[in-house]
């Protein structure tokens, strides 16, 4: 991408990236086609800083790229062996904290967690698996809620609040008991105001919120991240998860 002469730039891994006033490092890098690993960021939603996958070094200091404003001439280190190693550790913790069985998951090949793990060179879980007991909520006529795969990124929480204006989801609990909650009298998705047309229905980066009666529409091996690694794909997402860039 060419940078306009009158626009301020920061330097991301030796490459100049222009930015608009108030833009974050991650938003500007994404717009310019650079990949900063992330799980809880979406260009349509407000900042969260939940996953820390986007941690970069700015002038030697560790910061979250999704919550840090770009400043002129800042030197930003992104894809170094040290930072990717920290990211790999975070991913390994996420994988053992939930139940992620990629070969049996409809999201395989379209999953941001899986694609990012491949990108970071993660080859195994490293830590002992928790194998938590989590329910599958099949109460909604059109959507599944598979909490075994939830990584607590809060994208659905923010999408429902900011875009859908519904507040269907929240995060509750403490410590290892933290989980995604559904805002209905029974706590079931089917008793909430959630609808398959909601933005929150398409924003999940993993296979925790999926439509019913749709499986293998695109065969395994031909899905987005099967075709090319995440770092080689433009990520200028503006909508849902599968085909438009999550
Ligand atoms: Fe994130 Fe999906 Fe869990 Fe919602 S259900 S918090 S979008 S992983
Ligand atoms: Fe920045 Fe998750 S993408 S903390």
CA–CA separation, 7 and 140 (whole Å): 48
Integer angstrom CA distances of residue 94 from 115, 227, 232: 14, 24, 24
**For ligand 1, mutation pick of 100, 110, 206 (most atoms within 8 Å of CB):** 206
The domains found in the chain, sorted by start residue, are 9-79 (3.10.20.740), 83-212 (3.30.70.20)
Question: Rounded to 10 degrees, what is the CA torsion of 180, 186, 190, 191?
Answer: -120
pLDDT in tens, 7-56: 999 999 999 999 999 999 999 999 999 999 999 999 999 999 999 999 99
- Residue minimizing CA distance to atom 8 of ligand 1: 150
* Nearest protein CA to atom 4 of ligand 1, as residue: 156
Q: Whose CA is nearest to atom 1 of ligand 1?
A: 153
Q: Per-residue pLDDT for 238 more than 90? A: no
Distance 33 CA to ligand 1 centre (A): 25
Is residue 201 pLDDT above 60, yes or no?
yes
The pLDDT score that the predictor gives to residue 239 is 40
Q: Is the pLDDT of residue 138 over 60?
A: yes
Ligand 1 atom 3 nearest Cα:
150
CA of 132 to the centre of ligand 2 (A): 24
* Ligand 1 center–CA 6 separation, angstroms: 40
pLDDT at residue 140, as a whole number? 98
Distance (angstroms) between ligand 2 centre and the Cα of 224 equals: 21
Q: Is the pLDDT of residue 1 over 60?
A: no
Would the pLDDT of 244 be above 60? no
Q: At what angle do helices 112-119 and 81-97 cross, to 10 degrees?
A: 140
Residue 156 has pLDDT above 90, yes or no: yes
């Amino acid at each position: 991408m060419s940078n306009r002469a009158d626009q301020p730039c920061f330097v991301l891994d030796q490459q100049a990236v222009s930015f608009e006033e108030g833009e974050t490092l991650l938003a500007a890098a994404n717009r310019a086609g650079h990949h900063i690993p992330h799980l809880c960021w979406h260009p349509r939603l407000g900042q969260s800083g939940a996953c820390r996958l986007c941690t970069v070094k700015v002038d030697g200091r560790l910061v979250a790229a999704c919550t840090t404003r770009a400043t002129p001439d800042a030197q930003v280190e992104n894809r170094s062996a040290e930072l990717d190693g920290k990211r790999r550790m975070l991913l390994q913790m996420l994988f053992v904290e939930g139940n992620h069985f990629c070969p049996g998951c409809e999201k395989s090949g379209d999953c941001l967690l899986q694609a990012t793990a491949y990108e970071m060179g993660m080859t195994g879980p490293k830590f002992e698996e928790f194998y938590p007991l989590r329910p599958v909520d099949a109460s909604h006529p059109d959507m599944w809620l598979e909490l075994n795969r939830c990584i607590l990124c809060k994208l659905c929480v923010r999408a429902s609040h900011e875009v859908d204006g519904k507040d269907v989801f929240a995060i509750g609990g403490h410590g290892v008991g933290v989980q995604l909650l559904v805002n209905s009298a029974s706590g079931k998705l089917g008793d909430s105001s959630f609808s398959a047309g909601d933005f929150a229905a398409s924003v999940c980066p993993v296979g925790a919120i999926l439509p019913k009666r749709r499986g293998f529409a695109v065969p395994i091996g031909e899905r987005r991240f099967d075709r090319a690694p995440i770092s080689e794909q433009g990520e200028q997402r503006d909508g849902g998860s599968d085909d438009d860039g999550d």
